[in-house]
Amino acid sequence: MKRSISMLLAILTLAGTLTLPSMAAEPEDEEGTAQEAVQEDGSAQTDEAEAAEAEPEPDPAGTVSWANLESRIRSGSLSALILAENIGSIEVIDYDQMAQDIRDQLNGIADLQWMMILMGDRMSANSLDQTYDSLRENFDAIQDGEMQADNADVVWQLEDTVNQVVSGGETLYITLAGLEQQAADGQRGLDTIDRNLEQLRLRQQLGQVSQQTVEELEQTRSQTVSQLQTLDTTIRQMKAQLQTLIGETPTGEITLGPLPTQDTMEWEEPDYEADLEAAKAASWTLRDAQKTLEDAEETWEDARDEYRLPSEQYLYQQAEHVWNAAQFTYDSTVQNFEVGFQTLYNTMINDQQVLEAAQSALAWQQTLLETAQTRYDLGLISYSEVLTAQDNMASAQSTVDSAWRDLFTARSNYRWAVESGLMQSSNTASAS
């Protein structure tokens, strides 16, 4: 029989009240009891302090932080909540009680069939055979643990889908952080254009530049303003998507907290081989591929037993080709997963060296700015050159921020792969 996800026959909700008797301490144990109470109280206070330290502060109204993002998606996204309820409906199943209920139904059908036979109504008795067999199949599946294993796979798949929602929200958050930086860079560029435009207009009045030169820069300014407006619209739309993911009204107005810095991000140096094995063990994609291969193997075994006649030789060969294709498909899935994981790892290594190069360039621009400021103080250059050095410094800082954001994204994707077997195929986020 092919392995399949069994139908859930019943969801049993058990309600009960647990009462604990209270016992009075013996007089001679009062001192020891008091000391134990003090120790337990101190331990409880320590646990509460550690929990308070681990739990991030709630986000102020109108804001969202990276530290709280995952929990807010899991508790606010309708998609995540639907999936969580489906998971809960499976996890509350009492298989012992379900087996007993099915046993009672089987006995009831058997008794009814016997009564029908005694009454001479064998046809009606036989009509219950299909119902009996279906219940018996489910009963055997519980006894063998097959139903529990199938439902565990269903939970695995649903949790994987929840993780995709959460990781998609995180990618959306990082993308928004990058777009907001682009907006800030664009505004800085617009300020530079305005400064240069003011100088050009003064020079035009002095007859040093033509009207056309001024108009060309004015046109550049208009294009820059239009691009910033388009970028602002995109940011508002994506913020509305993020608000939907965290269960808020999608107004497009929300303030994002900064991403963790390189110093504050909790990170351990990866162990590639161990991490790859952990990722493969946690991957629903590979588990699903394994289940598909197992089904194909059962089909192949059935075909070998069924197609024995010479006239059925072509059916046997056809089934063999299907089985071979299933094996190659599984091998391809594993291979693609391993290649994807290696890509995540290599991306991290590359992004690390890009960040280091950007940091070196930033340090150099800092030196140039300090030199320009000193020369200006000595009257050797104009203040315009100091402003240019400041712009170059800001641009270098923006490059560092972008490089860190890329590395942070790569590390986040790598962590998702190792801990949940989730492979990020794109840096583009989508909310649903």
DSSP 43-72: HHHHHHHHHHHHSPPPPPTTEE-HHHHHHH
pLDDT for res 41: 52
Please give the C-alpha separations between residue 187 and each of 37, 235, 236, in angstroms, as whole numbers.
62, 15, 17
Q: What is the mean pLDDT of residues 279-307?
A: 94
Give the tens place of pLDDT for each residue, 214-268.
999 999 999 999 999 999 999 999 999 999 999 999 999 999 999 999 888 888 8
- Calculate what percentage of the chain has a pLDDT beyond 90: 80
Model pLDDT, residue 242: 97
In this prediction, residue 338 carries a pLDDT of: 97
The answer to whether residues 6 and 138 touch, using CB atoms and an 8 Å cutoff, is yes
Contact 425, 164 (CB under 8 A): no
Per cent of the chain over pLDDT 70 is 86
What lies within 8 Å, CB to CB, of 11 at 6+ separation is 89, 92, 93
CA separation for the pair 399, 397 (Å, rounded)? 5
Residue type, 269: E
Average pLDDT over residues 163-186: 96
Angle at 69 between CA 63 and CA 71, to 5 degrees: 120
Nearest to 210 by CA among 218, 219, 201: 201
Residue type, 92: V
Under the banding of pLDDT at 50, 70 and 90, the label for residue 6 is: very low
For 334-369, write each residue's pLDDT tens digit: 999 999 999 999 999 999 999 999 999 999 999 999
Q: What is the pLDDT of residues 370-412, one digit of tens each?
A: 999 999 999 999 999 999 999 999 999 999 999 999 999 999 9
Q: Is the pLDDT of residue 146 over 60?
A: yes
Upper half-sphere CA count for residue 264 (Cβ side, 13 Å): 6
Which residue shows structure tokens 């059925």? 312
Nearest alpha carbon to residue 259 among 410, 65, 62, 426:
65
In this structure, which amino acid lies at residue 145? G
Residue 417 has pLDDT above 80, yes or no: yes
Q: Collapse the DSSP code of 256 into the 3-class scheme (helix H, G, I; strand E, B; otherwise coil) and give the result.
A: strand
Number of other residues whose CB lies within 10 A of the CB of residue 83: 21
User: 367 and 357 in contact (C-beta within 8 Å)?
Assistant: no
CA–CA separation, 24 and 30 (whole Å): 10
Query: What dihedral angle (degrees, nearest 10) is formed by the CA atoms of 104, 108, 110, 116?
Result: 180
CA distances from 393 to 42, 193, 366, 381, 406 (A): 52, 17, 6, 18, 20
181 contacts 401 by C-beta, under 8 angstroms: yes
Q: Does the pLDDT of residue 3 top 50, yes or no?
A: no
Confidence of residue 277 (pLDDT cuts 50, 70, 90): very high
Per-residue pLDDT band for 52 (boundaries 50, 70, 90) equals: very low
Q: What is the structure's pLDDT at 55? A: 80
- 337 or 39: which leads in pLDDT: 337
What are the structural domains, with CATH classification, of the chain?
A: 267-425 (1.20.1600.10)
Cβ atoms of 190 and 228 closer than 8 Å: yes
Higher pLDDT, 31 or 149: 149
pLDDT of residue 42: 52
In whole numbers, what is the pLDDT of the chain averaged over residues? 87
The predicted model gives 158-168 an average pLDDT of 96
- Beta-bridge partner residues of 255: 63
| Per-residue pLDDT reduced to its tens digit, 99-122 | 999 999 999 999 999 999 988 888
pLDDT band at 276 (very low <50, low <70, confident <90, very high): very high
Q: Two tokens at 105?
A: 């139904």
Is 90 exceeded by the pLDDT of residue 413? yes
SS3 295: helix
Q: What pLDDT shows up at residue 266?
A: 82
Q: Is a pLDDT exceeding 50 seen at residue 427?
A: no
Higher-pLDDT residue of 108, 48: 108
What one-character-per-residue DSSP string does 134-184 give? HHHHHHHHHHHTHHHHHHHHHHHHHHHHHHHHHHHHHHHHHHHHHHHHHHH
Q: How confident is the model at residue 292 (pLDDT cuts 50, 70, 90)?
A: very high
SS3 255: strand
Are the CB atoms for 88 and 158 separated by under 8 Å?
Answer: no
